[in-house]
Amino acid sequence: MRDCLYKMNPLSKLIIMGILAVFVTCSQDIYFPSAVLLVLIISGYFSKITLLDFWRAMKVAVIGALCLCIFILLSKSVKDGGDFQIGAFGLYTYEIEQAASLALRMLGFAYAGYLFSKTTDPVIFVLNLIKYWKVPVPAGYAFLTAYRFVPTFQSEFQKIRLAHEVRGMKQSFKWLRSVVQLPIYLFPLMIQAIRTGERVSIAMEARSFGLKEAKTYYKTVQMTHYDTQAVLISLVALSAMAILFVKLGVFKFGLGF
């Protein structure tokens, strides 16, 4: 049961994300985005994501949303008047709701993207791009290759950093010193990337990649009835939530931010 999101076709998950984005974008209140974010967190249960994993993945987005909210409130504050007075700053209730709504929508989009990336096999995703969206095979293969070698370059970076520590080079986690030390890591990483790209290109040429139009695939992808049901259930659930909030008088429709 907790692996149902892993079994879904990536295309169906993208469709669900698009439907969710439309509903959340049209909501200018704090209640509907909060409910959607709560549903997304609960749906994390079906992708084996704990609250600790949620915080590790979303702490940057949470801090960014809070900073954005504070910045908007400071830019809209007035010296005199307002429903809330904090020192020399006055704020109206609707301004606070608008800033909080924008922050909640930002968190909802970020967590939806995290769920997609966490539960999607990149190979299946690229095959869907080629089959359903008619993406050229070389472009899809280039995307998959770049995605595949990200962990490899992360491992190479750790090896270079440990090699520097063994040779007595001081490591600093301060952002300014890290920027200064960046070229020291970039040069060997670029050399490794060139070697890896050359090996991949030779392997592709040896297998006549791109010369034959007809291709066979090790894995086949298709939209099943399970994916169709998931899309329909998501559409009905979001529509029911929106209608409920409209009936309660707390749903504020709008197309702006």
**For the purposes of burial, counting CB atoms within 10 Å of the CB of 27, is it exposed (0-12), middle (13-18) or buried (19 or more)?**
buried
Per-residue pLDDT band for 215 (boundaries 50, 70, 90) equals low
122-124-125-128 Cα dihedral, nearest 10 degrees:
160
**For residue 167, what is the DSSP state?**
T
Three-state secondary structure of 196-242: HHHHHHHHHHHCCCCCCCCCCCCCCCCCCHHHHHHHHHHHHHHHHHH
pTM greater than the 0.85 cutoff: no
Q: Is the pLDDT of residue 237 over 80?
A: yes
Element (H, E) at 77: none
Element (H, E) at 90: strand 89-91
Tokens of 30: 């704090």
pLDDT tens-digit readout, 43-60: 877 777 777 777 777 888
DSSP 82-131: -SEEETTEEE-HHHHHHHHHHHHHHHHHHHHHHHHHHH--HHHHHHHHHH
Q: Is the pLDDT of residue 257 over 60?
A: no
User: Looking up tokens 């020399």, which residue turns up?
Assistant: 88
pLDDT tens-digit readout, 58-105: 888 888 888 888 888 777 766 566 666 666 667 777 778 888 888 999
Domain parsing of the chain, residue ranges: 4-120+223-248, 133-206
Cα three-residue angle 81-87-88, rounded to 5 degrees: 55
Per DSSP, the three-state class of 109 is helix
Find the mean pLDDT for residues 215-229. 79
pLDDT tens-digit readout, 161-214: 888 778 777 665 555 566 667 777 888 888 888 888 788 778 777 777 767 666
Separation CA 91–CA 94 (nearest Å): 9
Per DSSP, the three-state class of 162 is helix
Q: What is the mean pLDDT of the chain?
A: 80
Q: Is the pLDDT of residue 151 over 80?
A: no
Neighbours of 248 (CB within 10 A): 9
Separation CA 90–CA 81 (nearest Å): 6
**For residue 2, what is the DSSP state?**
T
Element (H, E) at 184: helix 175-206
- Could you tell me what percent of the chain has a pLDDT over 70? 84
Q: Is the pLDDT of residue 150 over 60?
A: yes
Q: Is the pLDDT of residue 232 over 90?
A: yes
Tokens of 129: 């791009």
Q: Is the pLDDT of residue 146 over 90?
A: no
Per-residue pLDDT band for 29 (boundaries 50, 70, 90) equals confident
Separation CA 157–CA 162 (nearest Å): 9
Please give the distance of CA 168 from its chain centroid, rounded to a whole number: 38
